Amino acid sequence: MGIEERSEHPPARRAMTAAEAKALGHPTRLRIVFACRERAMTNKQLAEALDTTPGTIHYHLRPLVEQGFLEPLPPRPGPRGSREQPYQATGRSWELAGSAATLSALSAVAADELLAAAPEHVVALTRLGLRLTGEERDRLVQRLSAVLEDALAISRGRAAVPDGSSAARRELTVLLAITAEPESSETEPG
């Protein structure tokens, strides 16, 4: 199924609940979710990857698990007879609406990811200034959402590539933010 063969009615998205927004309202939590997208990671691995302490990671894991952004996998043997608890991202997507804290955290993490990416890995980076009516803006958002939902459905239909596999794959991170100036009461000159 290609992107152009989309269903006329993509699955409805819903805005985040207050609890979900709070769970993602800190840059460290978003970094944890993003780090666990490609492989399951333990508290210690996350602390090393994110350059923080295991205690900080432990503090941030609980709300992410409770709100369904991460899931614990079965514990595995660790060094010297210890048991490690790996976590993986659930792959859950979300639509952000109206949470200043989450928007701020997501913006910080997105900027970090973009700055950390090698220039040759940035597939597309676009900033457009558009003059659209409210109705045109809503249609644009619906069309972009439909394209992204189709791509998400295709991605979810693919089996995960096992660690160490030589199979070719392309992981894409898409962050789409559409901002609008507040509507003014002035009428546009005709």
pLDDT digits (tens, 9 = 90+) for 29-58: 988 998 898 789 999 999 999 999 999 999
Residue 189 falls inside a structural domain: no
Total domains, the chain: 1
Residue 25 falls inside a structural domain: yes
Q: Are 41 and 49 in contact (CB under 8 A)?
A: yes
State which of 105-109, 111-115, 149-153, 180-184 shows the largest mean pLDDT: 149-153
Q: Are 70 and 88 in contact (CB under 8 A)?
A: yes
Residue 56 falls inside a structural domain: yes
Q: Which residue has the tokens 């109705």?
A: 135
pLDDT digits (tens, 9 = 90+) for 152-178: 778 777 765 555 555 555 667 777 777
* pLDDT of residue 68 exceeding 80: yes
Which CATH number do you get for residue 63? 1.10.10.10
Residue 49 falls inside a structural domain: yes
Q: What are phi and psi of 164, to 5 degrees?
A: 85, -5
Least confident range from 8-17, 60-69, 130-139: namely: 8-17
Q: Are 96 and 16 in contact (CB under 8 A)?
A: yes
**Pairwise pLDDT comparison (184 vs 130), residue with the higher score:** 130
Residue 72 falls inside a structural domain: yes
Question: How many residues belong to the chain?
Answer: 190
Q: What is the DSSP string of 131-185?
A: ---HHHHHHHHHHHHHHHHHHHHHHHTSPPPPTT----------------PPPPS
Residue 172 falls inside a structural domain: no
Q: Are 114 and 106 in contact (CB under 8 A)?
A: no
Q: What are phi and psi of 62, to 5 degrees?
A: -55, -50
Residue 1 falls inside a structural domain: no
Q: What is the pTM of this model?
A: 0.62
- Is the torsion defined by CA of 111, 112, 118, 121 positive or negative? negative
Residue 55 falls inside a structural domain: yes
Instruction: Write out the residue range of the structural domain in which residue 32 sits.
Output: 18-155
* pLDDT of residue 120 exceeding 60: yes
Amino acid at 104: S
> If you ran DSSP here, which 8-state letter would residue 75 be given?
P
Q: Are 20 and 94 in contact (CB under 8 A)?
A: yes
